[in-house]
Structure formats: C-alpha cells, structure tokens
Structure 1
Amino acid sequence: MSNAPSDQPQRGHFHLVDLFAGPGGLDLAAEILNIPSIGIEWDDDAVATRLAAGLPTEPGDVRLFGPGNPGFEDCNVLAGGPPCQTFSIAGSGSGRKALDLVTGFIHRMHAWYEREKAGKRGETWEDIQQALDKLDDVRTGLVLQPLRWVFEAMLRPRHGRETPEPFEVIVLEQVPAVIEVWHEYEKVLRAVGYKTYAKVFHTEQYGVPQTRRRAVLVARYDEFPKHFLSATHQQYRKGAAPVEGLFAGGRGAWVSMENALDDVYKHVDEADRRAVPFCVVSNYGSGGDPKARGRRVSDQPSATITGKWKRNRIVSADSRETEMERLSNEEAGVFQSFPYRYPWRGNDQAQQIGNAVPPRFGVHVLSAALALDPPGDDVWERLLCWRPKQAEEDDPATAGAETPA
C-alpha cells in the first residue's frame, strides 16, 4: 500500500540537518521517506560508513558549525542525537550527576537568546561555550548544541537569506536518562513559540527487532495530533509470548530476531543463513548479579545492541548449548533495523552499529514529527531492500571487512 500521493507535496517541503549523525540511522530513515538530509559527524570511521552509503555528510565538529554556514541554508528540520556516554547507565555516569548543571546552562542559553533578540548587552554565547568546555567531560555539554542551533536560527539570517528563519521541526533523541534534559528543553522551546512533546519510547513497539529505550523530543510550531507517534507493535515483556495477529489498539506482535532474519533471507540471496533456534547470552550480568548472564532466544526480540555486542555468545537453544558463530555485523545491523548489506566501514564497526539510531524507529519518528501519513508496507519494503545509490566500488566479498588500525 503506497502513501506517497497524499503527503508528497508536504514531504518535499522538508530538508533535514542531522547533528552528531553517526553512521546514518536517521539519515537513512529520511532517505527512505524521500526527505533530503545532510549529517554532521566528526568520527572518521562513521564518516567512512556514511560516504559508502551515499549519505550527504559534512565532516567535522558540530561546535564549529551553525545554521548560518553555507550548505545548511535550506534546512528547516533540525535533528540530532548528541553523544550519550556520560548519560548512559553503561558509562561513567558523570552526565547524570551533571543534570542540574546542564539545566542551568539551558536557562543561561535562553537568557542569552532573549538579550540578543532585544539588542541588550550581557553574557555572550562565547562565554557560555567557554564554561561548557571546562566541564569534567566535555561530551556532557554537547547535549546543548542543538539548542544553540535553534537560537542562532531564530536570531540571524542564514547564508543567502534576508531574515532569520526558525527551524520548523526539531527532533532529538538520546538515552532514557536524558529525558530530564529534554523536559528542560521543552520549557525554553515553549517560551519561544514551539509546541513540544517528549517521551521515552520502546523501539520494539515500532517494529524494531530489539528492546531499546530512547528519550525523544519533538518540537514544532503546529499542534500535535492527539495520538502522536502511536505504537504499532506490542511491548516485549520478559517471559511473555507474542500475541498473534492484532490486539488492542491494532498493534501487532513484536518482531523477533528470527522474524527479522527471515525477512532478510527472503530478499537477499547472498545472505549467510543462521541456523535457528539460537540463544544470545549477554556479556552483561542480569538483575545485579554479574554471573547471571541475560539471555534472549531467537523467537524473542534482541536485547539492546550496545557497542559491546560482539562479546555476546551465541549458543544453540537446547540443553547442550552448543557454541555457534557470534553475530556478524550484518546480523547486528538487522537487529538495529538496518538493511542487511549496509556498508559498515572503518574501525570499531561494532561501536558504530551499537550507537546508531534504528532506521525503522527513525522512519516512525520523522513521519510523526513532520505530520506525514503513517508509513505503509511500501516504505518498509524500501528499507528492507535498500542499497546505496551509487554502486559499490570495492569488492563485495570484502565490503564488511574491518579497516586495519
């Protein structure tokens, strides 16, 4: 079922800039929706992956760019997933301790914007940036860079324009702990005219074959629909079997690892088929016990694909627990909802995969944020069968190989 005719005029109106774009999960979602995008990314390995995927990219540090730079003049949608290491449960935790500090910076930035708008003198953005650079972990302050872009777009004309043009839509995502930061964002965004919506979402409720929680903030000038970003699949609960067919609210069963791989095998002839059933044994402890390794059987969604997923063991799902080959890049990418042959490049591809926005979730978020029709089967077919626009120049047999350090 195609939904292109009804929303194509509106779809063509948007142009997205993706801060901290990583290997391209959100940009791929935009491409699937036929929305132009450009991503800013500083990591050379992620840039290599993006370029192999044919995604427009501006290499460099987000702090050195702004909406007034050439190349961003047509962008009216601001998106971003700032680095999450200091906010992540698996990280040092310094970001969580700094939430009050970050909140203070958010309101300092709002005060800076109001002074600039009124033509008054006072603390400048350079003063604020210098203070941010003095934080114990500078990555913590990067979560504030999207807000700087928002305010600069509202204060100064972009390259080649005569008057300031605010971003029409803002889409930000992070680990769940950052929802408190997004709520503070909401206060200042509402004060400058935006309508906002922030919530922690479960990605398996949007067809991603993985349980992953993400804090999402969407801001726009128009009102939000009553049922904004409604779930399409049921939530996974430990020990519960999937409900076949549709249940309350028209939601389908969550997608298992087996389901996701079966979909690939139907469309990708060269895929290496994995024997099922299998069990993924996590490298992490469960329930506070480091010896109690978490387990997911292949008829369940994958556990969260972190940057350390290569450490997880794969065993047969029987009493013998025979060791099997560990997940490949292609399989881990599929559990993140990337196409099977997504061209991962550079070093530490596992970290790239683990850090990425699941494209399928990205399609849902962008469709809702931009008020497009809900994605139909044709959209998911394009994602499943996606290939880079330009033919691969290297040997397909080595396309997934790691680049030597």
Structure 2
Amino acid sequence: MIIDLFAGPGGWDVAATRLGLEVVGIERDHAACDTRRAAGLPTVEGDVRDYRPADFLDATDLIGSPPCQPYSVGGKGRGRAALDAVLDMADGLAAREPVAQALTGLDDERTGLVLEPLRWALEALDAGHPFKTLMLEQVPTVLPVWEAFARILRAEGYSVATGRLAAEEYGVPQTRIRAILTATLNGEARLPTPTHRRYRKGVAQADGDLNLLPWVSMADAIGWGMTDRPALTIAVGTAAGGADPSCVGGSGARATLYGERDAGRWIECSRLVPAEALPANRGGRPDTIRLSEQDAAILQSLPADHPFHGTKTKRFEQIGNAVPSLLATHVIATAHGIPIPSPRQAPAARAAA
C-alpha cells in the first residue's frame, strides 16, 4: 500500500489506481477530501503532522507533494527566502535532532511542510519498517531540498534520483516543470524516460525526435484553445484572492494566450461560454479566456468527470494544486517497475470525457 501525504484531490492516487496499486491519501482540506471520497479514493482527513508511519503499518511506499505556495515564483517567496533554514533542518532531521523550535521561526507554516516526507521516511527506517520507494514532487525551486534529501537518503541505503521533469514530455497537454525525487531500496532509482517531444518555441509539433510522440496541444486535448503549443500552467485560485481560477496561468500567461489568439493560433470556445457573454476588447473579441472545470481537469490529465467538490474557487484550486496525473503515472510506474500504458492510446483523462 502507498501512503500519499498532502494527497489533494488525487492526482497521484488516480495514477496509482490506474496502475493497479492500492493507495491511501492524507489530506486536511475538507473540500478536497469530499472530492476524493466521491472519486472512491481512500482518504484520511487530517494534518500529516499529526500522523506517523506507525499509524499505517501496511504502507510500503510513500508519496509526497507538500504545498507549493511558499516556494512558487507566483507566491510571496517566503519558502524561497527560508531555503537555507529548511536545508539546515533537513540535516537536523538526518541527525535525529528535534527541529520543532526551528519550524516555529518560519514566517509561513507551510514552508516547513516540505520536510514531512523526510520525517516520515526516517521514522519508518528507525522503526524497522522502511518504505521501499519514495516519490516526491514540488515546484522547480524545491529541487535543492530534494537534492539534500537525496544525500541523506543515500546515507540510509537508498538509491535516489532527482531532477526536473517537463510535463509535456509525458503526454500532459501542459508545459509544467516539476522537481521530482524517487528513491528505492531495491535496485537503482530512475526518473521516467520521456515518451513525447519537449515543447520548444518556434519548433513545429511534427518536428523533432522521430522516436518520440509529438507533444499534445491544448486544442488536441480539449478541442479548443492553443493549436500551436500545450497549455500553460493551470492557475491556482484561492479564497484570499490571486489568479482567476477559471483562467490558465497568471497575468503573463494570459498575455501569451491572447497573443496566440491574435496570431490566429486559437480555436475559440463556443460550446461552454458564448462569446457575447464575455467582456470584449477593442477588437470585439473575448477579452478573457476562461476554462470550464472539465477543461482544466483534462489539461491536468485528470479524468474529465473527476467529481470535484466545494465552491468554484475551491474546485479550481484543487485542480491547480494537483500533480498532472499522466506525469505521476510515469513516475510511479518507473519506480515500481510497472509497464507504462502505451502513450499512443488517447490520454485516459480525455478518454473519460
């Protein structure tokens, strides 16, 4: 059984289930827990800091995607500013020293949550029931933390691989970069091999390595949107404000979308939001590019009918926070030595539409 820390609406867990693996997720957001339960995903509603490996003795593997907001370039940067302190605390955990007092000195309590997977891994080792594999994911700025974890875990007997993975190289219709760590006690840890070409500005979808599939455009995935590139990162709307949760990306990303539209590389949406219902710019065209919940889920390679619960903002927040499920499928399959479903088949998220 896999235990999934910070499980959210189930990006990792949908992938694990597709691969025939049993997974239980810990999540404290009530709306996300409702989503998980409606999707049939085993869920423990609570804070990962209140649990320990001894509470899940059947768990043989660990997944962790701590909150990204403190480390995201779109946030306030408190996690990035505290990176040296976080690395020092990781070394403290490795030495089995208490770090609780140091954690209280962080400006944002979410910053320290990135250490939880290491705490779980070390406690499981010390209890004599180590996790066979570890799979961690975060925004690219967290890679130095994963590299510190790798050094610590290697000293404990793990083989570890870390790196940045581009989501579109695994069939996700989105240009999203994630920092990944995989570790194993059995064999050599590896990051998954790309199945699709990397998106590069100015390079046609049909060009590139003929041994790889073309990247999947936004229009390929949802039938409207950018025809000349994958989608940008899905925005994370929050109850406290932030990016419009029904749009893609932040202000810079929206400018890119408008540029695609004005260059004629955009398929207008007419089936969901009538153009006349949207504010128009001086050219008389929709000034805001909005996605439906279903569209956003597909761009994250989640099932189109994934039963998101909560307010509209909460639902889009869950989608934006989720790990792209196709990327997760490749990471889990590689870590467990499971054959990866053929990428020449339609993406599972789209097939569920």
| Aligned partner (choices 194, 205, 209) of residue 248 of structure 1 | 209
Who is 1:301 aligned against? 230
Q: Which has the larger radius of gyration?
A: 1
Aligned to 1:143: 114
Amino acid at match of 1:168: K
**Is the Cα contact below 8 Å between 1:32 and 1:379 reproduced in 2?**
no
User: Which residue identity does 1:130 align to in structure 2?
Assistant: Q
SS in 2 for 1:39: strand
Where does 1:227-376 land on structure 2 (aligned, <5 Å)?
228-243=191-206, 247-248=208-209, 250-262=211-223, 276=224, 278=225, 297-307=226-236, 308=243, 309-311=245-247, 322-323=285-286, 326-347=290-311, 348-376=314-342
Aligned counterparts of 2:126 and 2:32: Cα–Cα separation in 1: 32
The amino acid that maps onto 1:140 is T
Amino acid at match of 1:376: S
Q: For residue 92 of structure 1, give the secondary structure of its aligned residue in structure 2.
A: coil
- Does the 8 Å contact 1:209/1:260 carry over to 2? yes
**Counterparts in 2 of 1:340 and 1:299: CA distance versus 1, 3 Å:** farther
1:331/1:108 CA distance change after superposition, 3 Å: same
Aligned-partner Cα distance in 2 for 1:302–1:93: 25
Partners of 2:73 and 2:32 lie apart in 1 by 23
Q: Which residue of 2 aligns with 1:5?
A: none
One-letter code aligned to 1:167? F
Partner secondary structure for residue 310 of structure 1: coil
Structure 2: state its 5+ residue gaps: 237-242, 249-253, 265-282
| 1:292 counterpart residue number | none
Q: 1:192 aligns with which of 135, 156, 166?
A: 156
Question: For each residue in 1:99-153, what CA deviation from the matched residue of structure 2 results, as whole angstroms up to 9, or x when unmatched?
Answer: 11111101111111xxxxxxxxxx4xxx422321331111111000011101111
SS at match of 2:44: strand
How much has 1:224 moved relative to structure 2? 2.7
Structure 1 position 350, deviation (Å) = 1.2
Paired AA for residue 71 in structure 2: F
Contact 2:68–2:138 at 8 Å: present in 1 too? Answer: yes
1:208 corresponds to which residue?
Answer: 172
The offset of 1:367, in angstroms, is 0.5
8 Å CA contact 2:166, 2:175 repeated in 1: yes
Q: Where does residue 401 of structure 1 map in the other structure?
A: none
Query: What is the CA deviation profile of residues 249-304 of structure 1, one whole-angstrom value per residue up to 9, with x for unaligned ones?
Result: 71111001121125xxxxxxxxxxxxx4x4xxxxxxxxxxxxxxxxxx33421011
Is the Cα contact below 8 Å between 1:33 and 1:379 reproduced in 2? no
Q: Which amino acid aligns with 1:213?
A: I
- Tell me which residue corresponds to 2:270: none
What TM-score does the superposition give when structure 2 sets the normalisation length?
Answer: 0.84
Structure 1 residue aligned with 2:105: 134
Q: Tell me: CA distance 1:344–1:198, structure 2 relative to 1, closer, same or farther (3 Å).
A: same
C-alpha deviation, 1:380, in angstroms: 5.8
The amino acid across from 1:148 in the alignment is: R
Distance in structure 2 (CA, Å) of the matches to 1:83 and 1:381: 27
Cα distance change on mapping 1:66 and 1:349 into 2, 3 Å: same
Distance 1:381-1:325 versus aligned 2 partners, 3 A rule: closer
- 1:52 counterpart residue number: 38
Q: Partners of 1:154 and 1:379 in 2: how far apart? A: 40
Q: Match for 2:100: what amino acid?
A: Q
Q: CA deviation at 1:374?
A: 2.7
Residues of 1 paired with 2:332 and 2:35: CA distance?
22
Check if 1:154 corresponds to 2:121: no
Cα pair 1:16 1:79 within 8 Å, conserved? yes
TM-score norm. by structure 1 comes to 0.73
Is 2:27–2:33's contact at 8 Å kept on the other side of the alignment? yes
Matched residue type, 1:252: L
Number of residue pairs matched?
316
2:4–2:23 CA contact under 8 A, matched in 1? yes
Q: Match for 2:99: what amino acid?
A: I
The Cα offsets for residues 67-105 of structure 1, whole Å up to 9 and x where unpaired, read as 101xx2111110010001110000111111111111110
- Correspondence for 2:183: 219
Q: Given the superposition, is the C-alpha separation of residues 189 and 336 from structure 1 closer, same or farther in structure 2, using an over 3 Å criterion? A: same
User: Is the Cα contact below 8 Å between 1:16 and 1:76 reproduced in 2?
Assistant: yes
The answer on 1:78 being equivalent to 2:62 is yes
Q: Which whole-Å CA distance do the structure 1 matches of 2:316 and 2:62 have between them?
A: 27
C-alpha root-mean-square deviation of aligned residues, in Å? 2.2
Aligned sequence identity (%): 41
- 1:381: Cα distance to partner? 6.1
Deviation of 1:243 (Å): 1.8
CA distance in 1, matches of 2:23, 2:289: 37
Residue 16 (1) aligns with residue 2 (2):
yes
Deviation at 1:361, TM superposition (A): 0.7
